[in-house]
Amino acid sequence: MSGIKLIKPFICYRSQVELVIDADDQGELALAFGELLRRLWAPGRTAIAPRQFKMKLARFAPQFSGYNQHDSQELLAFLLDGLHEDLNRVKHKPYKKSKDADGRPDEEVADEYWASHIARNDSIIVDVCQGQYKSTLVCPECNKISVTFDPFMYLSLPLQSTTTRSMTVTVFTCDGSALPFACTVTVPKQGRCRDLMNALSCACSLKNSEELKLAEVRNHLFQRFLEDPLISLSTIKDDDHLAAYKIAKSLKKTLLLRLIHRCQEQETGDTKAAQKLKPFGTPLVSLISHDDVITRGDIQKVVHTMLSPLLRSESLRQADIPEPCSSLAASDMCHHSSSDEACTNPLSDSMNKDSSGSRAVTLFKLPLQLVEESNACIDLSVGEDKTIKLSSTSTSMLVYVDWSQELLEKYDIHYLENLPEVFKYGPVNKKARTEPLSLYTCLEGFLREEPLVPEDMWYCPKCKERRQASKKLDLWRLPEVLVIHLKRFSYSRSMKHKLETFVNFPIRDFDLTNYIANKNNTQRQLYELYALTNHYGGMGSGHYTAHIKLLDENRWYNFDDAHISPINEEDVKSAAAYVLFYRRVKTVDAISNGENSGTGHNNGSSLK
């Protein structure tokens, strides 16, 4: 029942407005909550076990049934939405179509959106807990600007404890000059892809004749190439896998050769070997000249060069590949290197150690398959002199290398396996737990302009296509009770993580005046903290407590299950703070949520 504890701060901020439910509606959740309020505010100070309320809650939200750990912020979100629906004064919601701003004044558009919202949603929850923010989307292609004004029930703020971020990328050379290596660099947390590329270029000593091609690898395939220098680094998650490929700058017309590794799956009774092939390892890339005719042998040579650092030493001494037509001059092994730099190919050096520089080196045939535009495969291990037919508009080619057991014995492929994550979480050190972070900094991170994630792209009405638009949020109007959720829990494809960052939040004089985008509102926006919930422990298990200020006594108390004890105000702050509850300070120049809306809708509540 740990999630139920979040109700304490909410119900301890008592409203003089009664819960009025239409007789035609059931309103079971609101009735159960109202009964819980009545018991809590009855004379006497005895612990209340909210069993009946929990049973009713589980009926409408089965995810909160049982006695496992539940997220208190998710419970609060469901409870507020449920109470709003039960207490909504609007019984027949009119259809309201939202209109884009189209250059109209923000004040006019905001009031229009708020009036439309109130026409369908009119309850004490809206009166007390809902605010409004301005959302601005900008298309990166046509610069179309879309402005909307949306309601919010609470603010979920990120914990951006630092302004920089460590990112690990595996660097590969396509000229066979070095083994792949992991490179960790520090970049601005809100930086762009160009910042990562610049840091990698310095860290891996990139030459003037070289450039980097950055790619995200997922399931042993290329997920995407990060070619746009303005891509936000926030779109790259900590559990993503990145690879950077050193390729030579070239004035000639070149094609990007994408090499995917495949191996056979375990025997499953299927006699078709082609169906058993599956991708593995890390894909590689290289360049191949498109000025001249490309033959199957040319592709063999390029792939040999790419794989040469992985060749085992005993394989270098073997002369087991017979066909003389597959020979390649050692001096040609580095044809992608700059002409004014010495060739440092370890394969050619090792194989020519006891021979003259002009002697040809014999290369064995690799089991390569070229994927044509029709998705048909061409076997590149035969017909070395045959020309590859490519479209004049082609910019890349896809080649599979099918690894047999015999081939695996020739190469040390562990360098291609276990690509490291961009960032690997480890134990949270003491400094990270105690380093203070201002709540204002968290708010600024929430309001900062950022590009949308690729999975949530915006349909541009002007381009008629989905675009990765940049999004900017601004606070427009604030509620009477402001709930702030600190995003301590992060979820990714492979793991869950809790941030133990200490957030220094104001108890009094939480001033949001300068964060209001509505410049016609000149009133001060001051808030004071009256309650918060804490979460102790990790992701799978934990414990909730609450710190609450009883306003009549002007004193703080700690609520820990059935145990209640007074605490000093300076002890309210801790690294366990999870959800904060603020109330608007009544000043001479303060205005309510509805009084400045321009819609004639007043809060109608006097909060105590």
For every residue of 523-570, DSSP letters joined together read: S--EEEEEEEEEEEE-SSSEEEEEEEEETTTTEEEEEETTEEEEE-GG
Both tokens of 165, joined, read: 């971020």
Contact 214, 226 (CB under 8 A): yes
- Tokens, residue 237: 């998650």
| CA dihedral sign of residues 238, 240, 246, 249 | negative
How many C-beta atoms lie closer than 10 Å to residue 553's C-beta? 9
Question: 444 in a domain, yes or no?
Answer: yes
Q: Which CATH number do you get for residue 459?
A: 3.90.70.10
* Dihedral sign computed on CA atoms, order 152, 155, 156, 159: positive
**Same domain, yes or no: 281 and 406:** yes
Query: Is the four-CA dihedral 130, 601, 119, 446 of positive or negative sign?
Result: negative
How confident is the model over 539-561, as pLDDT tens digits? Answer: 767 889 999 999 888 999 999 98
Residue 91 lies inside a defined structural domain of this protein: no
Residues 303 and 202 in one domain: yes
Structural domain range at position 578? 106-158+437-584
Q: How far is Cα 428 from Cα 263, in angstroms, rounded to an integer?
A: 39
Indicate if 150 and 168 belong to the same structural domain.
no
In a domain, 100, yes or no: no
Beta-carbon contacts of residue 58 (< 8 Å; ≥ 6 apart):
64, 65, 66
Higher pLDDT residue, 343 or 125? 125
What does the alpha-carbon distance between residue 127 and residue 567 come to, in Å, rounded to a whole number?
Answer: 32
Distance, in Å, from the CA atom of 379 to the CA atom of 274, rounded to the nearest integer, reads: 13
Q: Which residue has the tokens 């972070």?
A: 437
Given a contact cutoff of 8 angstroms between Cβ atoms, the answer to whether 460 and 467 are in contact is: yes
pLDDT digits (tens, 9 = 90+) for 48-57: 888 888 888 8
Instruction: Look at residue 421 and tell me if it is in a domain.
Output: no
pLDDT in tens, 355-389: 333 333 456 889 999 998 888 899 999 998 999 98
* CATH number of the domain enclosing 188: 3.10.20.90
- Based on the fold, state whether residues 236 and 381 are members of the same structural domain: yes
Distance set, CA 451 to CA 3, 136, 443 (Å): 33, 11, 17
Indicate if 154 and 234 belong to the same structural domain. Answer: no
Say whether both 569 and 466 belong to one domain.
yes
What residues does 497 pair with on adjacent strands?
490
Residue 97 phi/psi, 5° resolution? -90, 125
Q: What is the pLDDT of residue 164?
A: 76
Q: Which of 520, 532, 506 is nearest to 585 (CA)?
A: 506
Residues 191 and 47 in one domain: no
pLDDT at residue 349, rounded to an integer: 39
- On whether both 305 and 410 belong to a single domain, the answer is yes
Q: Based on the fold, state whether residues 236 and 384 are members of the same structural domain.
A: yes
Q: How many domains does the chain have?
A: 3
Same domain? 408 vs 442? no
Query: Is there a domain that residue 180 lies in?
Result: yes
Tokens of 425: 């979480």
Neighbours of 383 (CB within 10 A): 12
pLDDT surpasses 90 at 118? yes
As beta bridge partners, residue 186 has: 166
Host H or E run for residue 212: strand 210-218
Residue range 494-542, pLDDT digits in tens: 556 788 889 999 999 999 999 999 988 878 899 999 999 999 987 767 8
Rounded to whole angstroms, how far apart are CA atoms 133 and 96? 19
Share above pLDDT 70 across residues of the chain, in percent, rounded to a whole number: 78
Query: What are the start-end ranges of the H helices in 308-345?
Result: 313-316
In a domain, 593, yes or no: no
Please tell me whether residue 112 adopts helix, strand or coil conformation: helix
Query: 402 and 255 in one domain?
Result: yes
| DSSP string covering 183-205 | EEEEEETT-BHHHHHHHHHHHTT
CA separation, residue 145 to residues 28, 115, 134, 298, 463 (Å): 44, 23, 13, 49, 12
pTM of this prediction?
A: 0.58
Do 150 and 177 lie in one domain? The reply is no
pLDDT tens for each residue of 137-182 = 998 889 899 999 999 999 999 886 566 788 999 999 988 889 999 9
Q: Are 158 and 439 in contact (CB under 8 A)?
A: no
Within 10 A of 255 (CB to CB), how many other CB atoms are there? 17
Asked if residue 50 is part of any domain, the answer here is yes
Q: Is 524 part of a structural domain of the chain? A: yes
Bridge partners, residue 328, by sequence:
361
* Look-up of token digits 């509850």: 581
Query: Could you tell me which of 604, 234, 305 has the C-alpha nearest to residue 451?
Result: 234
